[in-house]
Structure 1
Amino acid sequence: MKKAVSILIGLLSLISYGQEVNEDDATSYKKKVLESTEVDFLMSYYTQDGNHAAVSGGQGTEELTDLTPTFVVAVPLNSDDVLTVDAGISAYSSASSSNINPFDSSKPASPYSDSSGASASDVWVGANMGYSHSSDDRNNIIEGHLSVATEYDYFSLGFGGSYTRLFNEKNTEISAKANVFLDTWNPQYPIELRPDFSNNNITGTGTYNPFKYQAFNDENRNSYSLSISVSQILSKKLQASVFIDFVQQEGLLSTPHQRVYFKDQPDFFIDDFQLADDVERLPDTRFKIPVGARLNYFVNERLTVRTYYRFYNDDWGINSHTASIELPFKISDKFTVYPVYRFYTQTAADYFAPYEAHLSTEEFYTSDYDLSKFHSNQYGFGFNYTDIFASMHLWKFGLKSIDFRYGYYDRSDGLSANIFSAGFKFIMD
């Protein structure tokens, strides 16, 4: 399901350091990667609205709400190894996706109102298991993970790993990460394009005949990514990092339930809802390269400046720039507040055109405004409470930190969104 804005959950750090006595030599010590079991409970609530729904060909309501609770559990297996398991759900309701079948409601069908069908809401379920091993000197870290996720129209299996090397007295860090995702669609085509569809209330000139439509033969989508990053402590107050990613996608990259309307074909309606001329058609390969950098400056014991920039390019014709700044200000030893601002701009994909601007002679086409030219601003703030002694308790767990964030997102095509997120970190006594 298309979500116009990626839902952002602020993750808290899962790594802490301690010491334990080496059994072979009571006079020598080795830092533990993780002192005790840690549990993070993360929650986000997201709501958006707009008037360019891709399900109805670039017009209509984009109203959506999403609630996402997630648990992350990190368990130290010994001094060097950590097992991490995270699992979550994403329960959403969407006015636009309900219009995959806009005719199953007692209300007149319209792209600007929701339907009551099965696609009006759904639950995404996902889980990830990771294992990491650190060398005795903590200069080498190897990690591997396996993930699985499912929703009403797709199933995803993922796996990957990473290697991190620290040197120069741990002032320099180089990391390489690789991931593979194997997805299978269960396509949900617009109701009027399905073989069993029949309705006597179609209006228009001539006979409704979506001659370009045919179901996709390949229902798989595979994604492969490689990320390389370098982090360097430049001084006591300055730290910088750079990264580059390579992402290759293959298979069904179109979204089967997103309609397209051609300007050289007649229009047909049921009530106020226009019937599709075809569904979105996009190439079956896509190559992406994001390149970015972070620069963090410690002004004083109260204020830190965190900056981020990313340039993105893909072979669909999209170039984008992202820039953000965050200013954590420490009110006391336990409380920190931070304003956040993010700017984003992108060019349109080669295959994008708005409602009824495509021609039926084209090979590829979409009216998904996520692939259009636009810019956006996101304004927000955060609040963090940290108690390293975890003096507050819930059963056998001490509360180590609380993190809360709010963001308001405004896009130049009229889409706006609000995101609330919170995280609670507990450690086992």
Structure 2
Amino acid sequence: MTIIKNYITIFLGLMSFITFAQENKDDTSYKKRVLEATEVDFLTSYYSQNGDNAAVSGGIGTEKLTDATGTFVVAIPLNEDDVLTIDAGVSAYTSASSSNINPFDGGQRADPFVASSGASSSDVWVNLTGNYSHSSDDRNNIVSGKISVSSEYDYFSLGFGGSYSRLFNEKNTELSLSANVYLDSWNTIYPFELRAFGNNGIGFFRPTEITGNVNYNPSFTEFDKTNRNSYSLGLGFSQILHKNLQGSLALDFVKQQGLLSTPFQRVYFNDVADSFIEDFQLADDIERLPKSRFKMAMGGRLNWFVNELITVRTFYRYYFDDWGISSHTASIEVPVKITDRFTLYPSYRFYNQTAADYFATYETHLSTEEFYTSDYDLSEYQANQLGFGVSYTDIFTKMHIWEFGLKSIDLKFYKYDRDTTFSSSIITAGFKFVMD
């Protein structure tokens, strides 16, 4: 923790120095505030998914999951130049696949395609982020810094970072630089049947109930380190090309080190005889992946304001990493303003990727391999997403809740399908309030 405290102290010191250097104490002329009044956003969503390739049960089994989230984002103007933003969110989910970390603690027969009703079937994720931004007097320099913390039952993350943006060419051109660090730690939870064979295990818990290979004796060792550090660097360039056309480019680098495997995701080997209890196959091992990963992504946006009613927003990104995955993402959104207050948002997104070098399907890996996973998020697949949204905007904030006027409401729905068995849908709602 001493190292973390030193990082934070150095970071805050640099932010204070940059902010002080950018202030112009001789300028006593009127300045428009960066943010005129406190704004409050309430965001909520409901997500559901299904599929038959759960990583928790080695690439087979139900992937059914539901998740409900609620987030408050409060932006507070500290003065003409500075804004403090607080982002607090809670996410609660129920997961059929993660419930099978221990498939034997429910009241029904253990089966990878049936959710267990045990303790691992649900969880709550909480997050708190604070962001401070400072704009120079001419509004051409923007510096920001943030600190975040998030936690769930088996995971804790501390993050901090900052960004710098420079506008020039009469604010038609913008360059930006951002950097972030995340220090994460796992509370390692292993598949239930493997725990007895770990570092302090004393043997299997229900040996008389095993069918198939009754001499179940997996060669399982626990992870020696349970931390993961992620470092990211982002470069951005934005340019107004025409009064109706704006483009931007982005380049992102991410380096991860530490425990990059998920401890409770099973793997089944082709060269090891199968063992079962009830209808659930006992794990041969857990997912094991390299302790480092480098990612790189480059992409661009092009927004065309066709007229006062229609805008076309396009996006493309190419991604690759040193695990063998490369991907292409392309999307288009066409906001259509149907009245002064209502806008429709139809959208489409295409995605495809190659498989990681360490991925193989159920019972395809060999026990002699060094790295292995059957997580279909690392497989080769193609996906399509259709979306539709509607927004309501009232710049005069006629509707009020206490001292806050309702500025906008956004509702959106997305349907996502992979060319595997996986599919999902999400509905989101956002409400923006402004203090009068």
Query: Quick check: TM above 0.5?
Result: yes
- Structure 2 CA distance for partners of 1:243 and 1:103, relative to 1, 3 Å: same
Shift of 1:389: 1.3
2:338 counterpart of 1:337: no
Residue 24 of structure 1, CA deviation: 9.3
| Alpha-carbon separation, structure 2, partners of 1:248 and 1:329 | 40
Matches of 1:303 and 1:98, distance apart in 2: 46
AA partner of residue 39 (structure 2): E
1:189 paired with 2:174, answer: no
| Percent of aligned pairs with the same amino acid | 68
1:41 equivalent in structure 2: 42
Matches within 5 A, 1:118-157: 118-157=119-158
The residue that corresponds to 1:73 in the other structure is 74
User: In the alignment, which of 258, 263, 282 is matched to residue 270 of structure 2?
Assistant: 263
Q: Distance in 1 between matches of 2:131 and 2:165?
A: 15
CA displacement at 1:248 relative to structure 2 = 0.0
SS at match of 1:165: strand
Determine helix, strand or coil for the equivalent of 2:209. Answer: coil
Distance in 1, Cα, partners of 2:73 & 2:53: 35
The AA in structure 2 aligned to 1:389 is F
Q: Which residue of 1 aligns with 2:314?
A: 307
Please state how far the C-alpha of 1:411 moved relative to its aligned partner: 0.6
1:295 correspondence with 2:302: yes
Secondary structure, counterpart of 1:119 in structure 2: helix
Gaps of 5+ in 2: 1-24
Equivalent residues, number: 406
Superposition CA RMSD, Å: 1.3
Structure richer in helix, relative to its length: 2
**C-alpha deviations, 1:159-208, integer Å up to 9, x for none?**
00000000000000000000000000001100001126501311123410
Number of the residue aligned with 1:423? 430
What corresponds to 1:202 in structure 2? 210
Q: Give, in angstroms, the shift of residue 105 of structure 1.
A: 1.4
Look up the equivalent residue of 2:322 and give its one-letter code. Answer: D
Aligned to 1:352: 359
| Deviation string, structure 1 residues 237-275 (Cα, Å, up to 9, x no partner) | 100000000000000000000000000000000001000
Paired residue type of 1:209: N
In the alignment, the residues of structure 1 paired with residue 191 and residue 119 of structure 2 have an alpha-carbon distance, to the nearest angstrom, of 13
SS in 2 for 1:234: strand
| Partner SS, residue 100 of structure 2 | helix
**Post-superposition shift, 1:29?**
2.2
Distance in 2 (alpha carbons) for counterparts of 1:246 and 1:206: 48
Instruction: Map Cα deviations across residues 272-297 of structure 1 (whole Å, 9 max, x no partner).
Output: 10000000000000000010000000
Amino acid at match of 2:336: F
1:419 partner amino acid: I
1:326 aligns with 2:327: no
Aligned partner of 1:59 in structure 2 is 60
State how far apart, in whole Å, the 1-side matches of 2:391 and 2:231 are. 35
Structure 1 residue runs of 5 or longer lacking an equivalent are: 1-22
Q: Could you tell me the TM-score, scaled by structure 2's length?
A: 0.92
Could you tell me how far apart the structure 2 residues matched to 1:235 and 1:29 are? 30
Deviations 1:388-421 (A, max 9, x none): 1111101110000111100000011110111000
Distance, in Å, in 2 between the alignment partners of 1:298 and 1:25 is 36
1:17 corresponds to: none
Deviation at residue 106 of structure 1 after TM alignment? 1.9
Following TM superposition, by how much is the alpha carbon of 1:332 offset from its aligned partner in structure 2, in angstroms?
A: 1.2
Please give the alpha-carbon distance, in whole angstroms, between the structure 1 residues aligned to 2:212 and 2:123.
34
Amino acid across the alignment from 1:167: F
Matches within 5 A, 1:232-247: 232-247=239-254
Deviation at 1:117, TM superposition (A): 1.1
C-alpha displacement at 1:47, in angstroms?
0.2
**Which residue among 223, 232, 236 is the counterpart of 1:216?**
223
* Runs of at least 4 residues off by over 3 Å: 23-26
Is 1:251 aligned to 2:254, yes or no?
A: no
| CA distance in structure 2 between the aligned counterparts of 1:360 and 1:24, rounded to whole angstroms | 71
In 2, distance between residues paired with 1:205 and 1:53?
A: 23
User: How far, CA to CA, are the matches of 1:237 and 1:84 in structure 2?
Assistant: 31
Residue 161 (structure 1) aligned with residue 174 (structure 2): no
Corresponding letter in the other structure for 2:381: F
- d(CA) in 2 for partners of 1:332 and 1:312? 39
Amino acid at match of 1:177: S
| Distance in 1 (alpha carbons) for counterparts of 2:27 and 2:375 | 64
